[in-house]
Amino acid sequence: MPGVRWGFTFLLGNSLISHEEKLKLVVEATALFLRGQDRTDVQGPGYEGVLFTRHEWKVIGGFSGQQFDAEIETDADKGKVRLRFLVSEQTLRDGQSTVAAKHSLN
């Protein structure tokens, strides 16, 4: 049975684009991470730009992960904005659940 990959994606930064559009960018950053891709163009109502990674590893509190950046031009913010994402994968042993991983150690 294939495992499930899971983790957290954090958004850092401020923009006047809608909450829903910010969530779409969080999803896109996570998808780039899961696909192992470096860059994609992004756009939505009132903004467009690029989402990318330089494969830098960062730490926020007790979480660490790969950093992604979105550089977007927005109508609401009147110029260029940078939003930063930290994708922190918590999956153990190629997608095995914690319970399955414990049983394989015994």
- Tens of pLDDT, residue by residue over 10-36, are 999 999 999 999 999 999 999 999 999
CB atoms within 10 A of CB 3: 14
**What sign for the dihedral angle of Cα 89, 32, 39, 21?**
negative
> Domain residues for 98?
14-105
Report if residue 4 sits inside a domain. Answer: no
Task: Report pLDDT digits (tens) over 27-64.
Answer: 999 999 999 999 999 999 999 999 999 999 999 999 99
Report if residue 8 sits inside a domain. Answer: no
Domain total in the chain: 1
Report if residue 3 sits inside a domain. Answer: no
Report if residue 42 sits inside a domain. Answer: yes
Q: Is the pTM of this model over 0.75?
A: yes
